[in-house]
A and B are shown apart, each in its own frame.
Chain A
């Protein structure tokens, strides 16, 4: 008779539970975002031992003749490279023209062969080849025996799935 009216718990409870779960998920996500460590790029970090002042060389004072020689050499070099580039560009142009002429002739000759010649060659790439070295390889070369320890640091980034 004097009891409190019974509280109806049915409607609000699922929503409260849902809200609690969402808040927990948000907190987890924030933690995940904060704890993502980036892999350090070792080339961009100067090691501490190179900041030592005793390592610096004394400043070299160049004589007037030396500076003149360097300036003139750089000018000659830029001219040489410019000419080399022009020669290369013209040679490539000639090669391309020759190829275009050949394709034209082929087209006049038979259109089917021309369409097949124009197609891309999927087996061309990836194409790997070792470039020219300073000395040719020695036949029957015996490399020195021994072991080596690989001390490269391997970083792993932990990825959390959402």
Chain B
């Protein structure tokens, strides 16, 4: 029989009681309204498609001291091995001419270039100082984790807070699988319902990048409802932002280290596997 084999495989997910009880409570209440059928082959697992929406970094990471030293050394070597540029040749000529003027004190032709190299460099310096680039470190952090403009050099993942039973739990946005669609379609539906079509994302392939499975507590288990499996799909955020003005405190953009503040241990362990820490 397949069931005992499955039990040994799933012994990993067995120990987390509270989360499962909340899950089962919510799914139990929802199952009456949705009437979602279990998977077609008659297995007792519910299927859920979850979305791992990532905002790619906008700014490069700051260099470590070793990298800075190496960059300086490479620049030095490049200058040593190069030829003189036009600008440098002109500077050398003019310095020679000035030296001759001082020593010999005879009048050369007065209609030389009035514009010396030094003046050019000063002009360039002025225009450079006038330009104000955007700041790399967004100073208006204020620990506002719901904004997209924090931590511009890291990957940010979207977390949502959903109510299961009588407790709020943080998790990646997910939706229940409905027969007739692929799991990636489920993830896309989850994104559409979240953002109300404000966000554009590029899904990276048809295959899931990770999974999480758990069993319901004994009270909730029936013949056809042993537990649930969540499959995660990766997507990169292209444009748009999460505009749910109505619900505050329900979503958060978080980098990999801060995931531990929100997610439960076993869920976190599975999610960390497929997130690349830059």
Contacts and interface: CB of A to CB of B under 8 A. Distances in A.
Interface residues of A, number: 45
A57 B134 contact: no
Interface string A63-105: 0000000100100110010000000000110110111011101
Contacts of A80: 66
Contacts of A111: 41
Interface in B70-121: 70, 73, 80, 82-84, 89
Contacts of A106: 183, 208, 211, 231
Contacts of B273: 94-95, 97-98
Nearest to B131: A138
B162 interface: no
Interface stretch (B24-32, B57-65, B163-171): B57-65
Contacts of B270: 98
B7 interface: no
Nearest to A52: B83
B153 to A, nearest CB: 7
A152 interface: no
Interface residues of B, number: 52
A119 B182 CA distance: 11
A132 B57 contact: yes
A89 B182 CA distance: 31
A129 B238 CA distance: 9
Given A109-B39, A132-B57, A102 B209 contact: yes
Nearest to A59: B80
Contacts of B56: 129, 132
A135 interface: yes
A12 interface: no
A129 B135 CA distance: 22
Interface string A118-130: 1111001001010
A112 interface: yes
B39 A110 contact: yes
Interface string B131-168: 01111100000000000000011000000000000000
A116 B69 contact: no
Interface stretch (B188-196, B198-206, B216-224): B198-206
Contacts of A50: 83
A63 to B, nearest CB: 14
Contacts of A44: none
Given A109-B47, A132-B153, A103 B207 contact: yes
A133 interface: yes
A73 B205 CA distance: 42
19 contacts: A54-B84, A55-B83, A55-B84, A57-B80, A57-B82, A60-B80, A95-B209, A98-B210, A99-B274, A102-B211, A105-B231, A108-B43, A109-B39, A110-B41, A110-B47, A113-B39, A132-B58, A133-B60, A137-B134
Given A55-B83, A94-B273, 13 more contacts: A54-B89, A55-B89, A95-B209, A101-B211, A102-B210, A102-B232, A105-B213, A113-B39, A117-B207, A124-B203, A124-B205, A129-B238, A136-B135
Ranked nearest first, the 5 interchain pairs of A and B with the lowest CB-CB distance are A102-B211, A98-B273, A135-B133, A136-B134, A102-B208
